[in-house]
Structure 1
């Protein structure tokens, strides 16, 4: 370009514009872009591309079209989806940047779950809550203090199930609820229709619905939270009010019982009693912290364990050959005269592999809980902008045929031998700095339930007119996903096995 025909001012402006254009072109060549994804519409973006149910299946299909990382925009809000272990590991290495939670108006703010560990923003308060949980169950050695309680509660579960074999779901919830209540509050639950177990079930059901991203329009348009309850479209406010009460009851009611026991000197050792034994610490802020930490343990923690245990029973119905191998291992090492316990774990490698495969085969949280980027970052060469919501498709990672060949088959042998497949616990318990603080307790609870159930029961198909009813493994929708209801048959393996769980 020649500037000789221009005046000095115009020539100077032209040179400046040329320099700026070259700089912009250079920056464009090195600046990463958002990951690819389905093409959206102006303004509203990908609103109509978003699935209403089983989102993990749609996201898995997108991964085959667009790669391990893909993205969409909902009314300008970027949503980044990670579909592979490799992508998640890259994010894991930058945990502080990607460990925040998006603000969920319905489940987090209106109902109240942003006060608990699961939806709390990343920061000092979250670290305090996690420290409290860590002292109770944050390591294998800490959980070891409660193994006797776990085994005793599981024996009670087996006895109840033997007399009410058609109530597996209810009995699993009772097992998990009784353990958490005893550890957290020092409360012994009732044998039937316990009000505390009912509290947690109601609150967990509400959480599952309220925390699903995009389930409520107020999550997309936060200004709607200011609508009056009676105004057209304000019906979600009625739900939020009812669910908020259920949440507060879950936090307050068992805590108040534990506090009364402390005042009367009758409190057994528990998380709450230990946290409040130092009177110098007891301030209104500290009590708030302890109450909501306890609620975090009692809430989603119980439901995830129930889901994993329920998945195990379904796997045994569908894979009797696995059940027989595991029972043979238990019989050979433990024998017929006692129940197996946690102390036997290192001597039962196949049973331990059944536990591991249970965590993979039925993933209790197919999409985990969404994360949020607190600053711009780059993953695999793609831009992850500040404020982007990040969803890890854990279901796809745990069913990736390149990592787990024949991924829909329940096969514990994946983890035995010289060339074992990848341990799924990293995916199953979250990522970044939001790894489940109760993972050691959940793993121990699942093992004890599995090994003792296998020792006592045969878990088989239900029969109808002499024909076996073969169930199908399907996940329910929601943040915490259970197997869809299925038919089964549970009966003691022998009179000797039944005698091991009889008694008070």
Structure 2
């Protein structure tokens, strides 16, 4: 009885705050955008989905249009479901839509609030952005790391990002930092997902003691916080020790530390490197291996389901490169079909199906609708309704037969060009071009890593469906929930294409 009353008291307190806010607030200048009908007191608390949010958002888009409004205890949220709406608001009005909200679970309790993607717009945000630009400011700067990527791709995906972020070379036969990074980034994907935790809708729950019934999220947050700090601090201190000993490899951390002038800058560098690791190491619980993994897995899934695409890409590689070596970055411009295939991987499987929210800093009227200050703005990059996908990356008006994997969309002269639907800089930074929710410089790095994995794999492997007991197994296309989405685990057959390909694989055994 006491427990029930405690919860009741908390709910009544939240409802009371909401009612007072409504009473003292000014009259709306225009109607809110359309959305599901709210309940008295609780608003849309019971409507907001916690898993595979894009499915619910897609149904709403079909009913309400490009802007969908929710309200939970006075907190307004607008979900944008088209590229045009996102550009019109987040880019053309970026001065008022660039702020970030506080995420009670992922940001405050777990500790990602110091990471770039969750920083509020201001001096600290700009400093972190400058850090990225200093080291990864464009393709020329990123190209300095291409030799490292080519070398480490023969090991694991995690080896690349650890080496570039911290100058850390992984241990053969299993590495503790790879495992720790895998867990931490999986936590990030799960606990920063829009609507995944009640505490994000009712921030007062963050003050409930850990022993309180229903407050198991507090215990989980404490454990995740410890893992996050272990990863951030241990790798950073290791890089500093190697620099002091004169044995540090070139990395983002070493480059920035050489320029630092204060303790505060060192703290910023620590979190810049941590965000770099996060941006290059989305792992997913089911994989437990570091980043760009989501896109790499989507590539293998697509090749399993679309063998004719695989054969066309392999024919291009054979004609341009031959069979005596593996592709390198120097070959990229000579392989237009492989380039188009990589872009189609990004479009076909959205790594970031629902972008982390922005926050409006002043009242706004947009297309006749009132959007109050403090409203959270989120973007649904993938939507599905009536057995079809619709949205910025799966909009059938832009991409006919959107669930078909078809690299021809991105060949020169074709109408569907991925970048054309998101020309705006702020949207690019949110990962709508290639699904990575990090700054453009990190997108460029991650894109290079994915391209290299795709090209090398196509050069030496034949990827096909598994046959079990005489039955061919067709994988299911079923993306996971979370800030970072992964394909559902699937079986496929991976064999060397030829004796020469086997020789190349044996020369690079960790490929």
**How far apart, CA to CA, are the structure 2 residues paired with 1:388 and 1:376?**
9
**How far apart, CA to CA, are the structure 1 residues paired with 2:350 and 2:420?**
10
Tell me what 1:406 maps to. 401
Three-state SS of the structure 2 residue aligned to 1:50 is coil
Q: CA 1:384–1:422 in structure 2 vs 1: closer, same or farther (change >3 Å)?
A: farther
Tell me what 2:139 maps to. 140
Q: CA 1:397–1:150 in structure 2 vs 1: closer, same or farther (change >3 Å)?
A: same
1:245-394 aligned within 5 A: 245-278=226-259, 281-303=260-282, 305-394=292-381
Deviation at 1:426, TM superposition (A): 6.3
**How far apart, CA to CA, are the structure 2 residues paired with 1:48 and 1:237?**
22
Tell me what 1:469 maps to. 473
Tell me what 1:151 maps to. 150
Asked if structure 2 preserves the Cα contact closer than 8 Å seen for 1:374 and 1:387, the reply is yes
**How far apart, CA to CA, are the structure 1 residues paired with 2:246 and 2:413?**
55
Identify the range of structure 1 (440-449 vs 67-76) with the bigger mean alpha-carbon deviation: 67-76
Asked if structure 2 preserves the Cα contact closer than 8 Å seen for 1:56 and 1:367, the reply is yes
Three-state SS of the structure 2 residue aligned to 1:52 is coil
Asked if structure 2 preserves the Cα contact closer than 8 Å seen for 1:368 and 1:430, the reply is no
Deviation at 1:420, TM superposition (A): 2.2
Deviation at 1:244, TM superposition (A): 0.5
Asked if structure 2 preserves the Cα contact closer than 8 Å seen for 1:93 and 1:432, the reply is no
| Higher Cα Rg, which structure | 1
Deviation at 1:192, TM superposition (A): 2.3
Deviations 1:300-350 (A, max 9, x none): 432151111111110000000000000001101111111111111111111
1:424-439 aligned within 5 A: 431=427, 434=430, 436-437=438-439, 438-439=442-443
Tell me what 2:69 maps to. 71
Asked if structure 1 preserves the Cα contact closer than 8 Å seen for 2:194 and 2:356, the reply is no
Deviation at 1:492, TM superposition (A): 0.9
**How far apart, CA to CA, are the structure 1 residues paired with 2:97 and 2:333?**
36
Asked if structure 2 preserves the Cα contact closer than 8 Å seen for 1:98 and 1:432, the reply is no
Deviation at 1:222, TM superposition (A): 1.8
How many residue pairs are counted as aligned between the two chains?
457
Tell me what 2:485 maps to. 481
Tell me what 1:94 maps to. 93
Deviations 1:345-374 (A, max 9, x none): 111111110011000000001001111111
Aligned counterpart for 1:419 among listed residues 414, 418, 428? 414
Q: CA 1:425–1:134 in structure 2 vs 1: closer, same or farther (change >3 Å)?
A: farther
Structure 2 unmatched runs, 5+: 1-25, 283-290, 383-390, 432-437
Q: CA 1:401–1:344 in structure 2 vs 1: closer, same or farther (change >3 Å)?
A: same
Asked if structure 2 preserves the Cα contact closer than 8 Å seen for 1:100 and 1:372, the reply is yes
Structure with greater helix share of residues: 1
Three-state SS of the structure 1 residue aligned to 2:324 is coil
Deviations 1:401-440 (A, max 9, x none): 1111100000000112423203158669971765632111
**How far apart, CA to CA, are the structure 2 residues paired with 1:430 and 1:394?**
14
**How far apart, CA to CA, are the structure 1 residues paired with 2:239 and 2:209?**
37
Identify the range of structure 1 (103-112 vs 136-145) with the bigger mean alpha-carbon deviation: 136-145
Pairing 1:448–2:452 present: yes
User: Over aligned residues, Cα RMSD in angstroms?
Assistant: 2.0
Deviation at 1:282, TM superposition (A): 4.0
Asked if structure 1 preserves the Cα contact closer than 8 Å seen for 2:344 and 2:405, the reply is yes
Q: CA 1:347–1:379 in structure 2 vs 1: closer, same or farther (change >3 Å)?
A: farther
Deviations 1:186-244 (A, max 9, x none): 11001222111111111012112211233222222222222222233332221111111
Tell me what 1:495 maps to. 499
Identify the range of structure 1 (298-307 vs 483-492) with the bigger mean alpha-carbon deviation: 298-307
Asked if structure 2 preserves the Cα contact closer than 8 Å seen for 1:403 and 1:422, the reply is no
TM-score by length of 1: 0.87
Deviations 1:136-181 (A, max 9, x none): 2231111111111111222x24xxxxxxxxxxxxxxxx32x21111
Tell me what 2:19 maps to. none
